[in-house]
Structure 1
Amino acid sequence: MANGIDPSTSMAALFGARVRRLRTAAGLTQAELGARTHVVSTRITQIERASGAKPTLELARALDAVLGADNLLVELWPYVYREAFPDWSRAFIAHSERAVAMHEYAAHVVPGLLQTREYARAVLSVGLTLSGDEQLEERLAARMTRQERLSSTARPELWVVLDEAVLRRPVGGHDVMHAQLELLLSVAAGHNITVQVLPFDQGEHDAMGGSLTVLTLPDGSEVAYTEGAHYGQLIEDPAEVRRYTVTYDRLRANALPPLMSLDMIRSAMEGYNRGANVPSRSERRRVAQEQLQQSGGRQLRGGRRRIPGSRRPRP
């Protein structure tokens, strides 16, 4: 236990202990390591003591490179980053990493596990708590890291019901949406991922307030998670979870069958492809204003407008 810091107390403490051990093995002082990673020496002290602000992803990469850690620190970083999340959020992420089955209803955006990088960037960039580009990149890196589980040997069964609004809202623009829907079609062809679409014409339903996820854990137990724009709730009481499971089953039953859902996704994707060259609303407004001004100018210069087909009376 270095400097009285117990690495088992938090991921930040474990990260700091690894940095200290690697720095000592490299024969560097804190000031020397700070100079090589372009931070002040007190920042290195804070990291090693697990005090102050959490290390950024950029700094974790720099420390990894300077100390020759072979991506050890970069791989630890997402766990350090999550410690800043609320307790219920961290608990949900922990359950997600162990789940053998994930059933999700997405009301507004494509679920994080199935987002392309550019779609995820567009979604994360509108968060009210976002403090700048650096935090955006950190959140983006954490989301992309979580996606790796879907390609691992221990990947869960994933069943996603998308509200039709997810397909119609052009998050990130037409090109980003086209690529995102193309990815959905690709992953839905796999054996462990099923995608359905809940069309608008199904009307109201029990989960209209936000998104819903039901996780099945290795021991067969289940937890549920509901999420809105600025809140989340983890439900672990079996009786309450059962209510949400029934809600999800109803959503899945009312959604289009998988093959018909893929047809709707494909149709939406083709629509974004056709609309890629359509001017934006602001561009259309600008062009309309210019045409109006030009038309007004011609009318002022030409005097009274002439009615087509009419002739001026002869003197």
Structure 2
Amino acid sequence: MVNRKVLDPESSPEAAYGARVRRLREARAWSQEDLAAHTAYSSKHVSAVETARKPPTLPFSRALDLAFGTAGTADSFEREWRELRHGALLEGFPEYVEHEGRAVELRLFDTGIVPGLLQTSEYARCLADSKARRGAMTPDQADDLVAFLAERQATLVRHRPPTMLVVMDESCIRRQVGGPRTMGAQLDHLLEFAERPNTVLQIAPFEIGEQRALYLPTNLLTMPNMTVVAYAESQIRGYLERDSAAVFPLLTAYHQLQAEALPQSATVDMIREVRKGYP
């Protein structure tokens, strides 16, 4: 076939996705124009996805599932798209998010940046775009990361929202992310978060020094059956821990951290003071 591009499924997840589209299309003796007619997308779009020049989207994946009869199966294109979409996430994090959406209580600790669930969209966008500029992810993955965070935040808006206990290192409010307006809006959002009836917000000030019981970002989730799972991250991977022998020491450390952190009223005062430095 003239101008037929050789595909290398091993080169990237997008290439593997495109190669599979071509394989199923050709197994049915369909041209790209035929598949385009079955999906309501252009043949140019089909070609771009097959050759990994354009990343697949959720609507396109669902259209492929209808065309190929793979909807709702373990081999669906929607499922492959979701796995591909999570490619920029740390190992273990997608599994954690599944638990996060069902938890009745969340205990969060972070240092350096505001925890994701408390970030404004502008603050989250600045962080994602920075990763894309450094080459840590593609621009499309940065877009997906911001959208994924919005989905996580939306799952916590329920008739009976979970209790959220958050301790942030003081660096989270001292380090400017984005421009002054972005940071000012983020601090306003933290003040609003502290006013909610189901939340407690505390800052671990620099002055507690070695009394800070946790040094890495740590999340503790209480599930509907009252079991507690923990999630912690290093620079390169995350890990979901269910074993109570490992979780309970983290829970103890979190309680110790809360005892040393500022109470919520003093936390709010500190955030308001920092807020004065932004427009």
- Name the SS for the 1:136 alignment partner: helix
What amino acid sits opposite 1:109 in the alignment?
I
Find the counterpart in structure 2 of residue 247 from structure 1.
253
Find the counterpart in structure 2 of residue 187 from structure 1.
193
- Name the SS for the 1:108 alignment partner: coil
User: Is the 2:127–2:177 Cα contact (8 Å) retained in structure 1?
Assistant: yes
Shift of 1:239: 1.2
What amino acid sits opposite 2:264 in the alignment?
P
Q: Which of 265, 271, 278 pairs up with 2:277? A: 271
- Name the SS for the 1:272 alignment partner: coil
CA–CA separation in structure 2 for the residues paired with 1:243 and 1:250: 11
Please show how residues 137-176 of structure 1 align to structure 2 within 5 Å. Answer: 137-176=143-182
Q: Say which structure, 1 or 2, has more relative contact order (CA 8 Å, 6+ apart).
A: 2
Structure 2 residue 236 is matched with structure 1 residue 238: no
CA–CA separation in structure 1 for the residues paired with 2:104 and 2:54: 31
Structure 2 residue 28 is matched with structure 1 residue 30: no
Deviates more, 1:151-160 or 1:94-103: 151-160
Shift of 1:82: 5.5
What amino acid sits opposite 1:110 in the alignment?
V
Please show how residues 41-120 of structure 1 align to structure 2 within 5 Å. Answer: 43=49, 56=56, 59-61=57-59, 79-80=82-83, 84=87, 85=89, 88-120=92-124
* Alpha-carbon distance change, 236 to 63 in structure 1, aligned in 2, over 3 angstroms: closer
User: Is the 1:212–1:227 Cα contact (8 Å) retained in structure 2?
Assistant: yes
CA–CA separation in structure 2 for the residues paired with 1:153 and 1:37: 45
Find the counterpart in structure 2 of residue 206 from structure 1.
213
Shift of 1:31: 2.0
Shift of 1:261: 0.5
RMSD: 3.5
CA–CA separation in structure 2 for the residues paired with 1:202 and 1:254: 7
Q: Which runs of 5+ in 2 are unaligned?
A: 1-16, 22-32, 64-77
User: Is the 1:196–1:256 Cα contact (8 Å) retained in structure 2?
Assistant: yes
- Name the SS for the 2:99 alignment partner: helix
Structure 2 residue 264 is matched with structure 1 residue 258: yes
Aligned residue pairs: how many? 235
What amino acid sits opposite 1:168 in the alignment?
R
Shift of 1:53: 11
Q: Which runs of 5+ in 1 are unaligned?
A: 1-11, 17-27, 47-51, 66-74, 274-315
The one-character-per-residue Cα deviations of 1:122-150 (angstroms, maximum 9, x if unpaired) are 12233366332221111111111111023
Find the counterpart in structure 2 of residue 218 from structure 1.
224
CA–CA separation in structure 2 for the residues paired with 1:200 and 1:221: 32
Find the counterpart in structure 2 of residue 227 from structure 1.
233
* Alpha-carbon distance change, 64 to 268 in structure 1, aligned in 2, over 3 angstroms: farther
User: Is the 1:211–1:226 Cα contact (8 Å) retained in structure 2?
Assistant: yes
Shift of 1:42: 8.0
CA–CA separation in structure 2 for the residues paired with 1:226 and 1:64: 34
CA–CA separation in structure 2 for the residues paired with 1:86 and 1:104: 17
- Name the SS for the 2:101 alignment partner: helix
User: Is the 1:215–1:223 Cα contact (8 Å) retained in structure 2?
Assistant: yes
The one-character-per-residue Cα deviations of 1:210-245 (angstroms, maximum 9, x if unpaired) are 211111011111111112333322222101100000
* Alpha-carbon distance change, 201 to 87 in structure 1, aligned in 2, over 3 angstroms: closer
What amino acid sits opposite 1:146 in the alignment?
R
| TM-score (norm. length: structure 2) | 0.72
CA–CA separation in structure 2 for the residues paired with 1:126 and 1:43: 26
- Name the SS for the 2:100 alignment partner: helix
- Name the SS for the 2:276 alignment partner: helix
Q: Which has the larger radius of gyration?
A: 1
